Amino acid sequence: MTDIAKAIVFVPAPNYGEAWDWAYDVEAAALQSGGFTVEPRPWTEPGELGHRDIILPLVAWGYHDDPQRWHTLLDKLEAAGANVVNPVPLLRWNSDKRYLEELGANGVPTIPSRLITSMDEAALADASDRWGGDVVVKPPVSASATGTYRLRASEALPADTLGRPMIVQPFLSSVTEEGEYSLILFDGAFSHAVVKRPKAGDYRVQPHLGGREEPCQAPEGAIAIARAALAAAPGEPAYARVDLVRGNDGGLKIMELELIEPSLWLQYAPDKGESFAAAIRRRFNP
């Protein structure tokens, strides 16, 4: 490698309250092993960006707390012709969970998702009646289970959901019984999988909420579904995490596509992140 590639990895704002080094460290180490110099920068304070730099929003946690600032940053990066990986149009599309309806419309097995433009009790009751049980309500722009609730039709809506656009989905008990699968792919090639499970009495699998993960084999049919979902996205991601859960019909469903700032769990990758670094390296413009 005659050219030294510089990777600027976006990380959270300095006042972000959640630990993030556990995700950054393993990804930065893989990039360094792949011949990159790596510099972390808060996505809220990106500074000057050289035209040869690769910009990676791998740990841009908290973007959902200030979506206007996030989209302003994406617009500036796009206008400047910055070498952003994944590309800006893909990041923009993936920033709003309305894409789940699009995937479903394109025939990708996806957890049923309805956008309610102004959430109220009638919408909650209708969704519960439609799907026959508890529902999950979450903002279209969200991460880390922020603003996510499991609700019964008879429950009062939390104040921060009333009158706001919200995504409503059926609650799937398989999340607590079997877990949520994450498949990690680089340039469309499957690398490894983990299964995430919530702590007892919860349904959220995020680590900061007590969830835990462990490496696993990809369930039968999961890789094909993951590739179908990525093929329906508006661009080809260098890195992707595809989260799946088993539906009430026994089939696997897409829960989310994570193309912005996913935990990639490279410590569980058979090559410890070599294929990840290679996918990023292929996008370096010397």
Active centre residues (catalytic): 212, 241, 258
CA distance 146 to 181: 20
Q: Which amino acid is at 26?
A: V
Q: What is the dihedral of CA 260, 265, 267, 273, to 10 degrees?
A: -30
**CA-CA distance, 86 to 195, in Å (whole number)?**
24
CA–CA distance, 7 with 37 (Å, rounded to integer): 6
122 phi and psi, to 5 degrees? -65, -40
Q: How far is CA 274 from the centre of its chain?
A: 21
Which residue is listed with tokens 């949520």? 180
For residue 171, what are its two tokens? 């609650």
The CA–CA distances, whole Å, from 186 to 112, 114, 276 equal 27, 30, 6
| Residue spans of alpha helices (H) in 34-98 | 67-79, 88-94
Angle of the 274-281 helix axis to the 21-33 helix axis, nearest 10: 70
Q: Which residues contact 186 (CB under 8 A, 6 or more apart)?
A: 238, 239, 240, 275, 276, 278, 279
Question: Omega before 86 cis (within 30°)?
Answer: yes
